Amino acid sequence: MIETPKPLIEVVPDVAEDELAELPWWRRPRRLRRQLAGTLVLVALISVLLAGGLNYVAAENLLSDGTKNQLEGVGEARARSIEAGIDRTLRSVSALAADLALVEALARFDEALLEVETEPDADRLEALTRAYQDAVIDPINAIGLEQYSVDQVLPTSPRALYLQSTFIEPAPLDLEARQAIVDPGDGTAYSEVHADVHENLLALGESLGLGDLKLISARTNEVVYSTHKRFDLGADLSQPPFAGSTLSETVLVRLPSVRVGEAVLSDLTLFLAAGGEPMSFVAASVRRDTEVIGVLVVELPTAALDVITTANESWEEVGLSTGESYVVSSDRILRSQSRAWIDDPAKYLARVDDDATRAVIEALDSPVGVQVVDTEPVEAVLDGGAFTGTSRNYLGQQTFTYATAIDSPGVDLMVVADIPLSEARAPLVDYAKRLGLVLIVVLPLAAIVGLWLARRLTRPIAPVVDAALAVANGERNPNLDDLGNDEFGDLARRLGVMARELEDQEHQLEAEYERRRQLLLTVLPSRMVEEDGGLTGTGEVSETATVIAVSVEIADERASGDDEDAVAQLGRALETAEAMAAERGIERIRSSIDRFLFLAGVGQPGDSADEALVFASQLTTALHQLGDERDLQLNVHVGLSSGLVGTGVLQRGNLTFAAWGEPVRRALAIGALSQADEVLIDQSTKESLTSDTNVTAARDVVALDGQPMALFTLEMPIPVSPDARPS
**Cβ neighbours of residue 160 closer than 8 Å, sequence gap 6 or more:** 222, 233, 234, 235, 236
| Superfamily for domain range 305-422 | PAS domain (3.30.450.20)
pLDDT at 2: 35
Across 545-561, average pLDDT: 75
Q: Contact, 556 vs 632, CB < 8 A?
A: yes
Residue spans of the domains in the chain: they are: 98-179+186-301, 305-422, 526-724
pLDDT at 226: 93
Least confident interval from 49-63, 341-355, 684-698:
49-63
pLDDT at 448: 61
Q: How far is CA 603 from the centre of its chain?
A: 34
SS3 state at 119 = coil
pLDDT at 261: 84
pLDDT at 218: 93
CATH code for the domain defined by 526-724:
3.30.70.1230
Reply yes or no on whether the pLDDT at 30 is more than 70.
no
Reply yes or no on whether the pLDDT at 511 is more than 90.
no
Rounded CA-CA distance 226/199 in Å is 12
pLDDT at 348: 87
* pLDDT top residue among 19 and 265: 265
Least confident interval from 199-203, 257-261, 314-318:
314-318
Residues of the chain with pLDDT > 90: what percent?
12
φ, ψ dihedrals at 382, nearest 5°: -65, -25
* pLDDT top residue among 625 and 91: 91
pLDDT at 652: 54
φ, ψ dihedrals at 645, nearest 5°: -125, 135
pLDDT at 471: 78
pLDDT at 10: 40
Reply yes or no on whether the pLDDT at 290 is more than 80.
yes
Which helix (H) or strand (E) segment holds residue 94: the answer is: helix 32-97
Rounded CA-CA distance 515/649 in Å is 20
The CATH class of 98-179+186-301 is alpha beta
Burial 346-372 (b: 16+ CB within 10 A, else e): eebeeebeeeeebbbbbbbebbbbbbb
pLDDT at 31: 47
pLDDT at 297: 94
Rounded CA-CA distance 84/407 in Å is 9
Reply yes or no on whether the pLDDT at 225 is more than 90.
yes
Judge whether 98-179+186-301 and 305-422 match in fold: yes
Among 494, 498, 545, smallest CA distance to 663 is for 545
Rounded CA-CA distance 13/381 in Å is 76
- Strand pairing partners for 635? 553
674-701: pLDDT as tens digits: 888 888 888 888 888 887 777 888 866 6
Q: How far apart are the first and last CA of the chain?
A: 130
Q: How confident is the model at residue 220 (pLDDT cuts 50, 70, 90)?
A: very high
Q: How confident is the model at residue 15 (pLDDT cuts 50, 70, 90)?
A: very low
Reply yes or no on whether the pLDDT at 431 is more than 60.
yes
Average pLDDT, the chain: 79
> For residue 299, what are the CA distances in angstroms to 112, 239, 283, 371, 707?
24, 20, 9, 22, 53
Residues of the chain with pLDDT > 70: what percent?
83
Least confident interval from 79-93, 652-666, 710-724:
710-724
Contacts 24+ apart (CB under 8 A), 235-243: 235/155, 235/160, 235/273, 236/157, 236/160, 240/152, 241/148, 241/152, 241/153, 241/272, 242/272, 242/273
Residue 73: how many CB atoms within 10 A of its CB? 15
Across 223-232, average pLDDT: 91
> For residue 639, what are the CA distances in angstroms to 397, 616, 622, 657?
73, 9, 17, 21
pLDDT at 724: 35
